[in-house]
């Protein structure tokens, strides 16, 4: 793949998002991630079983059924165990994080970077605001103490709204893609076209520590769902209003949520480590070693734990009139 077409670039410019079908080869590019995460889940299951928190490791079940069973039986969501970013606060020396080679290879995949280059230029920095989302069927995982579905639908928000002000001028691009089918029933993303041109809007507390765009300034009636198949990739402007639907299927919805920005621009979470994913001007600056990438995060975890770092990445006032 050589990059996005003129029509795709025009859609992104006009609507603030574009879906690219078949950017990844599901078997060659995505299956190695799934195999890698099978080992992660196996380790988690064994630990929980040995701690007496699980009646079985459920080793005979497929990944999706297994993780759903484990989440349901323990009554907990073990999302941090699979994530390749650290939480925003209370980082400990043993805070789980997964930094596997297959994850790194996907973040630096040439087809992906070619598309990213079309949108932000040839000097590409991997922004550390990145997550894996493994959402079981909502009917299987129950609710939290606030009566909210665990790992349910995400609030309407702008990705610009969940980072700090120092990155407001940065050209941050969101890249979202599923490892399993993401139909409307599975809880695919939905976007409100054209909202990227409205600038940054206020965000308010949205439950479970999240943020949301207040309903009074949200044009939810213009929402467009974006169902996706394995291999498809969605590119979203940092100010496009978007959310996810509820997973009302009987399968997990598994996705990656990545960010990229031009080299030298602020990431909005500068305490976390990013890296140069591609540089035409200085190829030697590119990070190509997944072990070196993992070391960046492990060193950051140690530094944050040693310093008891606990600053929030939130600029918003929950008492603002718009939140009333």
Query: Domain residue spans in the chain?
Result: 6-323
**Residue 208 pLDDT:** 66
- Give the tokens for residue 134: 């493994």
249 closest CA partner among 143, 147, 153, 156: 153
260 closest CA partner among 152, 130, 91: 130
CA dihedral 286, 112, 152, 91 (to 10 degrees): 0
**Residue 244 pLDDT:** 96
**What's the distance, Cα to Cα, between the start and end of the chain in Å?**
48
253-262 sheet: strands from edge to edge: 17-20, 233-237, 173-178, 253-262, 123-135, 275-279
**Residue 290 pLDDT:** 98
Q: Is 199 left (phi over 0), alpha (psi -120 to 50) or beta?
A: left
Backbone phi, psi, residue 177, to 5°:
-150, 145
Predicted structure pTM score:
0.96
Q: How many CB atoms lie within 10 A of CB 134?
A: 24
List the chain residues with pLDDT less than 70.
1, 146-147, 208-209
**Residue 249 pLDDT:** 96
Let me know: does 201 contact 159? Beta carbons within 8 Å. Answer: no
**Residue 1 pLDDT:** 66
d(CA 248, CA 259): 27
**Residue 99 pLDDT:** 98
- Give the tokens for residue 202: 């206020």
d(CA 123, CA 111): 15
**Residue 149 pLDDT:** 72
Beta bridge partners of 257: 131, 176
Q: What is the DSSP string of 162-213?
A: GS-GGGTTS--EEEEEESS-B-TTTT-EEE-TTGGGG-----EE-STT-EE-
Residue reference for tokens 């997990």: 252
**Residue 144 pLDDT:** 73
181-215 pLDDT per residue, tens:
999 999 999 999 999 999 999 999 887 658 999 99
**Residue 166 pLDDT:** 96
304 closest CA partner among 85, 19, 123: 85
What is the third-level CATH fold of 6-323?
Jelly Rolls (2.60.120)
**Residue 207 pLDDT:** 73
**Residue 146 pLDDT:** 66
């Amino acid at each position: 793949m050589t990059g996005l077409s003129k029509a795709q670039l025009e859609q992104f410019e006009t609507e603030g998002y574009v879906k690219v079908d078949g950017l990844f080869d599901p078997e060659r590019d995505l299956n190695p991630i799934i195999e890698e995460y099978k080992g992660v889940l196996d380790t988690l299951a064994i630990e929980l079983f040995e701690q007496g928190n699980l009646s079985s490791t459920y080793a005979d079940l497929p990944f999706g059924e297994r993780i759903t069973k484990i989440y349901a039986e323990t009554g907990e969501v073990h999302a941090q165990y699979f994530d390749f970013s650290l939480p925003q606060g209370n980082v400990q020396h043993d805070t789980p994080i997964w930094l596997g080679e297959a994850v790194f290879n996907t973040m630096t995949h040439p087809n992906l970077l070619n598309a990213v280059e079309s949108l932000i230029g040839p000097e590409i920095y991997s922004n550390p605001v990145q997550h894996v989302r493994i959402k079981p069927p909502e009917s299987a995982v129950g609710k939290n103490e606030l009566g909210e579905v665990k790992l349910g639908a995400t609030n309407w928000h702008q990705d610009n709204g969940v980072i700090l002000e120092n990155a407001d001028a940065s050209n941050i691009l969101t890249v979202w893609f599923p490892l399993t089918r993401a139909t409307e029933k599975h809880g695919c993303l939905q976007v409100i076209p054209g909202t990227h041109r409205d600038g940054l809007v206020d965000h308010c507390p949205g439950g479970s520590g999240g943020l949301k765009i207040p309903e009074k300034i949200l044009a939810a009636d213009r929402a467009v769902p974006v169902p996706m198949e394995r291999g498809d990739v969605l590119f979203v402007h940092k100010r496009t209003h978007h959310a996810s639907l509820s997973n009302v299927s009987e399968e997990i919805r598994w996705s990656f949520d990545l960010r990229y920005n031009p080299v030298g621009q602020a990431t909005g979470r500068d305490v976390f480590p990013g890296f140069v994913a591609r540089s035409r001007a200085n190829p030697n600056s590119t990070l190509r070693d997944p072990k070196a990438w993992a070391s960046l995060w492990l060193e950051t975890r140690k530094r944050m734990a040693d310093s008891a770092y606990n600053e929030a990445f939130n600029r918003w006032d929950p008492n603002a009139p718009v939140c009333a």
